[in-house]
Structure 1
Amino acid sequence: MTTVKSWNGMAQLALVQRMVLRSAGQVRISMAMLSLLSRLPGKDRLMVKAVEPIHRAAAAITLKQY
């Protein structure tokens, strides 16, 4: 039986793996796309798809209060 805690850990791992780019070429393409998207009209609608995985991964990380 899989517990909720282990499912949560697997979901966080999957989000991080999708967020991390695997090659220098992917990083270059990603940066070029973000640069181009910021110059297009209607950029808010287009940027949501590019930034959404980053927001989900950041929201999945819980930070301690110090």
Structure 2
Amino acid sequence: MEKVVIVRYCEIHLKGKNRGYFEKVFMNNLEKALTGIRHEMHKPSGRYVVENFDEGRAEEIVERLRKVFG
């Protein structure tokens, strides 16, 4: 069974129609935090999923993602 890391975030409430922009910025920040670690990331509704990574680095991935603002 493959391990995955699920990143959830609270609802983004904005007056304008710029939610997509802030979600994109958040994903870019997540990707930056994982620089140097082979992985794939995609965004099903309301969360991000990190998969296809070396399972020996799972704890490192979680620790890096915990520090991402957002």
TM bucket, shorter chain = 0.3 to 0.5
TM-score when normalising by structure 2: 0.33
Higher helix share: 1
- Whose radius of gyration is greater, 1 or 2? 1
